[in-house]
Structure formats: structure tokens, C-alpha cells
Amino acid sequence: MRLARMTGEQALSAVVKPGGKLVSLEVAEAIVRFIAGGSELRNAEVEPSLLSLICRELNNARIAKGRAEISVDLLAGSHDTILADFYERTLADQPEALRRYIEDELLTDSGFRESIAEERVRKAFAAAGARPDALATLVDRRLLRIEERLDVRRVELTHDVLCSVVRASRDLRHEREARDEAERKLDEQRARQRATRKALVRARQIAAVCAVLAVGALASAAFGFLNMKRAQEAELKAQQTRAMAESARGEAEKLIVYLLDDFYLELEPVGRLDIVAALSKRALDYYDALPKELRTTETDRNRALALVRYGSALRIQSKLDESQKALSDAVDVLGKLRAQGDQSEATAIGLGLGLWAEARVAGSKGRRPEERELIQQAVAVLKPLASAPTPSVPLRRAYGTALTYLGFTQLNNNQEEAAVKTLEEAREAYRSIDDLKLDDLPSAVAYAEASGWEVNALQSLGRFDQLRQVGEDAARVAGQVLEKRPGNMMALRARGLISDSLAGAEGFDLHLRKALALAEQGARDWGAIVKLDPSNQIAWNNLAAARQGTAFWSWGLGLIRESQEQWRAGLAIEPDVRPSAMIGYTLGTTAGYRAMLEADLGNRQAAEAALADNRRLIEIAVRDLPRDSFGRGFIPEQTGYYGFPGSGLGYGGYALPLAAGEYETLRNLARASARRIEQLKAADAQRELDKN
């Protein structure tokens, strides 16, 4: 419903009665006259929304200045600001073209309200790109009003008091547009001047050549040999000029690659890889627009290096198909260059990082065999150069990156001894850059991340003393980085990984409260990352995994309500993430454990809902896997009925029958699962181990 306009007396009463001692009669009258556009009270018409807005903002100003009442000088110093803020807030979510229409059409040149037929206004709003309900929205917000005059509905500003604010906004815009137009004309004039100078230079060159030709024509055959020598010299100079131009273009392309690499290192910690993706896309557009005759081997290499950074940034944003396309193109080009004899460091680093990024995409899609093969290729490309006496910093950083992910995949495939060796080599590669003096923050952060995965491997091997030594050292490095750069997302990521791993070690040592505290620290770090970069799908996944840890340790301590809250909080991230195999697997596991807890507590309805989530998320986890793949059959069994090793009975699909004492149903489910697992075809020893 819409509030009707008040008379002056009604408005005065609305100010004085609620205000009490906060506003005197004199000030109240001044407020009403201001909102009525200076009219006397008996003739005043007041919009309730403007009256409410002015009164609220004046009271806030009174409180901020510590005054006991609203005074005339407070009104005089605040009313223009209040109306300006009201105008800006009202149009904040509307297109700029709509604002331009209001300022140019609903206000006369001299600054008075203009009334326009509603039909014309709606057409203008639609042309401005506004939503169909934009006019109704602005009427509801009391910026505009609709009145019927002579059987025609007309639109105008709500009140004359808004005219000055609208006019001020229009004047500022006109000044800005005039300034921009002046700058544009100045740029055009400069361009014409440059073109004129270029034409003059060319004319002089042509004149000089003509003079030479004239002299040559007048000369006899005696000068023929001399003219031939001059032609040869001119051709040589032209070739030299072209070579210089090609060299300059090549150096510029190298600079683009260097800047993309540098921006990646600087922007990844603050979650702005979208900028790197945008810059990489512009660079790729430049390369794609080059004529074929200008494309060289070096150009192809630089384009492929830009594709690597573009694909890596897209993977972080979980745009996996787009990332895969870009990375496949890059790896194909760089691989062919290497096969043709290109042994440069830049090509090797680009190929290694391209294979590394492809491996991570394969991992995100749940394609584990492909993931292992790709990361092994990446390490094989970089290792010969990294083993040289003095490898460069970019090479050591790339080698450490590839080794870290190789260690991660070895850890995921139960190759803990190999993972410890690989991750220790990665840590040494990062340490060799500046000995962890924090002059090179990316290497310090990467050192901490590699340490976090090594802690996981050491935990599986039961080496808890070495685990704590590595974890505490890495946590110290990550903490030092965060002291220098509190918002460094990569340091937060490393500390989150370490906290999660140390929590597991303490938990298995039955130090459950310490494990819970570490798990909560890890969850806080992952939560901080997703606040800084909501598009980081990997951080969302790790936040859900960290909440699994807090739920487990709370459960072990008998904090059942807290454990319930953490399982629910883990599932609550689903609206914030894109569906992927990685997310489906993590959240599917969370849903399975939630079903287990809710069924054990007798909450059948909640357990059934969690089980439905478990089934739905498993479908997401396997939908991109080939029909005949091992994972397509293994993941539904492991995630649907068993959870992590050591979970005990009652996980996932077994939760409700076990809680209800339906043991025959439970046996039938288990036998059916065992038959399905027996039918799985394991392609290698690792898959056979997983199956058993």
C-alpha cells in the first residue's frame, strides 16, 4: 500500500510527537518547510517517506555529534547530504541510462520538475535496459510518483525538494562528459598531428629518393655500377630493419609472458586469478589475430605459455572443460617444439606446468590414472634441467610445484614412502630459492604447502615425531608469511593443510581436544580463503573436508550437537560451489556420516534426508567418469556404504537398518555390495588394493 501525502500540520505532528524533547517546535517546522520545498505549513504537502528519511538521518547525525536535541544548524548542515544519499541509494541498482533519462527528461533545463506521460516513461526505461518493474520500484522508493491529469497518467519527481539534488547530479555528469569529450578531441588532434608529421617525413623521403633517381637518370653509364651498389645497400638496410622489428616484437611477447607469470604469483595469494585469466585471454586474442606470415616458432611458444596460465586460472575457478581445452592446446604445441629440438628453459617450464595443470584438472574430474600419468610426465620434463648445477629460480619453483603434486598423488594412492621422498625433494627445491628468508614469499608458501602433504604421508606411516617436527616448522613459516601479508591466501591454504594434518595425528594419539582445536583452526583458515575469493572451488572443497574433521573430533569427545552442526555446515556450502567430481565426493562423504549420526540419534527423517543427499552427490562425483572405469563402480560403494577406513558399521546406506535393528536387511545390503565390489575390474595393483 502507498502512503498518501501529508498536510503541513500532519507532518508537523508526525515530527513533534514521536520526537519529544529531541526536536523543538521551531526545528520541526523548519524540517517540514524544507521537505515541502519552502512552503508555509498551511499550504505544505509532504511525502511521508522523505519526512521519515530526513528525520532518521538527522537523529543519526545528532547521536554522532553527541547532542541532546536536533538543532537548526544540524538541519542546515545535513539536509543536502541526506537527500543526495537518498538519490544515490535509490538509483544504485538501476542502469546508468535510466538515471540519465530521469535527469535529462524529468527535470527542466532550469531545474524544475517535468511531467511526462507514463507510457513514454515506460518505453524510455525499457530502451535504457531497465527491468519491467523499474518504474514501480522507483515509485515505491518515493523518487517518482504517478498522478492522473486529464485522464492521462503522468510521471514526475516526487517533490520539488529533490530537484536540486537531481540537478546537481546532472551537472556533475555533464561536466564529466564535457571533460571526456575534450580529452577525446585532444587525443584525435594529437593523432592527426602525428599522422601529419609522418606524412611529411614520408614526403621528404620520397623527395630524396626522387632526387637520387633524377641524378641517376642524368648520369651516364659510368654511374650504373654505383647505383647498383646503392640498391644493394638499401635492400640490406630493409632486411636489417625487418629483423629489428621482428626482434622487438619477440621481446614484447616475452615481456607479456613474463608479466603473466609475475601477475600469477602476485595475484594468486589474494584470490584475483580472474585478472590473470582476463589478461591471458587478451594476449591469446592478440596471437590469434596475427597473420600467418608473422607467426614464428617463438610466437607459437609464447602463445602456448599464455594458454598455460589461462588454463591454470580457469581450473581454480572450476571451469574444468574450458581449462582442459586450453591446456591440451598448450601442451600439444610445447611438446611438438620440444620434439623439434627446442631445449630452451622457457619451453620446458611451460610444458611442465601445462602437464601439472592438466593433471590437476584430471584429479578434479576423478580421473586418477590419467592424473598420475600426467604429473609423472611433468616431473620428467623438468628434472634434467633442475638437476643442473645452477638452475634458475623459475625452474626451481616449477620443479617444486610438479613434485608437490606428484607427492600428493602418491599419497592418495597409498604410496606413502614414495610421497615422503618426493615431498622432501619439493621442500628442498623451494628452500633453495632464498633459504626461507621470506624475500621470496611464493617459495616460502609453497614450502609450507608441500610440508602439509608430507605431514599427511608421515601420519599414514605412523612417524608422529617426524610429523610434528615437519608440521610445526611449516606452520611457523606460514605464520611468518601471514605476519607480512595477512591476506595471503596461499599461506592460509598451507596453514589450513598443516592444521588438518596435525589434527589427524593428535586425534589418532587420542589427544582429541587438541585435535579439535587444530581442526577448527584449519576450518577458520579455509573459511578466510573463501571470503577473500568466493570463486575458489578448491578452497570450498577443503573447507568442507576441514568441517569433517571438526565433526569427527567433536563426535569422539561426545559433543554430539556440535558434531551435528559441523556435518550440516559442511553440506551447507553446496549452493556456493559448482558441481564437480571433487565436490561430489567430499560432500557425498559428509552426507554419509551425517546419515550415520542422525540414524544413531533416532532422527529418522534427518537421516533419510542425509542419505538422499549422499546418493545425489555420488551421482555428481561419477558422472564424468567412463562407464566401464574402475571409479564408476568403486566410488558409489566406498562413498555410499563405507566412508573412510576405520569408520565402523552404520555409515551411509547401512545407517538406517543398523539403527532400527533390521539386521537381515543389513546383511542383504552388505552381500549385494560385496558382489558388486567383486565384479570390479582393477587395472593395476593400486586399484586391487582399493578394491580389497
**HEC secondary structure over 150-190:** CCEEEEEECCHHHHHHHHHHHHHHHHHHHHHHHHHHHHHHH
| pTM exceeding the 0.75 threshold for the entire prediction | no
* pLDDT score at 550: 95
Task: Find out whether 329 and 299 touch, Cβ atoms under 8 Å.
Answer: no
User: What's residue 691's pLDDT?
Assistant: 66
Q: Per residue in 314-347, pLDDT tens?
A: 887 778 888 888 888 888 888 888 888 888 888 8
Residues 6+ apart with CB under 8 A from 164: 80, 83, 111
**Domain limits of the chain?**
248-391, 579-692
Question: Which pLDDT belongs to residue 19?
Answer: 65
Residue 325 has, within 13 A of its CA and on its CB side, a CA count of 4
- The CATH class for the domain spanning 248-391 reads mainly alpha
pLDDT (mean) for 447-471: 87
Do 59 and 71 meet the contact criterion of CB atoms below 8 Å apart?
Answer: no
Banded pLDDT at 406 (limits 50, 70, 90): very high
Spatial contact of 529 and 494, defined as CB atoms under 8 Å apart: no
In degrees to the nearest 10, what's the CA dihedral of 660, 664, 667, 672? -110
Torsion, Cα 551 555 561 564, to 10 degrees, reads 40
Asked if residue 113 has pLDDT above 80, the reply is: yes
Q: What is the pLDDT of residues 194-215, one digit of tens each?
A: 876 886 788 677 757 756 775 7
338-395 pLDDT tens trace = 888 888 888 888 888 889 889 888 888 878 888 889 989 988 988 998 888 888 988 8
Interval 231-279: pLDDT, tens = 566 566 655 555 554 555 455 555 555 555 555 556 666 556 667 667 7
Question: C-alpha 687: how far from its chain's center?
Answer: 35
Which residue shows C-alpha cell 525499457?
126
Q: What is the mean pLDDT of the chain?
A: 81
- Tell me the three cell numbers of residue 144: 517518482
Residues 518 and 512: their CA atoms lie apart, in Å, by 10
Query: Which of 76-80, 105-109, 526-530, 658-662 is predicted with the least confidence, judged by mean pLDDT?
Result: 76-80
CA separation, residue 195 to residues 188, 202, 508, 631, 664 (Å): 10, 10, 76, 65, 90
In the structure, what pLDDT confidence band is assigned to residue 616 with cuts at 50, 70 and 90? very high
pLDDT digits (tens, 9 = 90+) for 557-596: 999 999 999 999 999 999 998 888 889 999 999 999 999 9
pLDDT of residue 216: 63
How far apart, in Å, do the first and last CA atoms of the chain sit? 68
Q: Which residue has the higher pLDDT, 229 or 93?
A: 93
Q: Are 585 and 366 in contact (CB under 8 A)?
A: yes
Torsion sign across C-alpha atoms 156, 162, 166, 167: positive
Q: Residue 685 has what pLDDT?
A: 67
In the chain, the amino acid numbered 433 is: I
Give the separation between CA 529 and CA 535, rounded to whole angstroms: 10
Res 283 pLDDT > 50? yes
Instruction: With a cut of 50, say whether residue 1 has pLDDT above it.
Output: no
Q: What are phi and psi of 91, to 5 degrees?
A: -100, 5
In the DSSP assignment, the letter for residue 455 is H
Q: Following DSSP, what letter does each residue of 463-497 receive, concatenated?
A: -HHHHHHHHHHHHHHHHHHHHH-TT-HHHHHHHHH
CA nearest to 51, candidates 25, 12, 21: 12
Rounded mean pLDDT, 59-76:
75
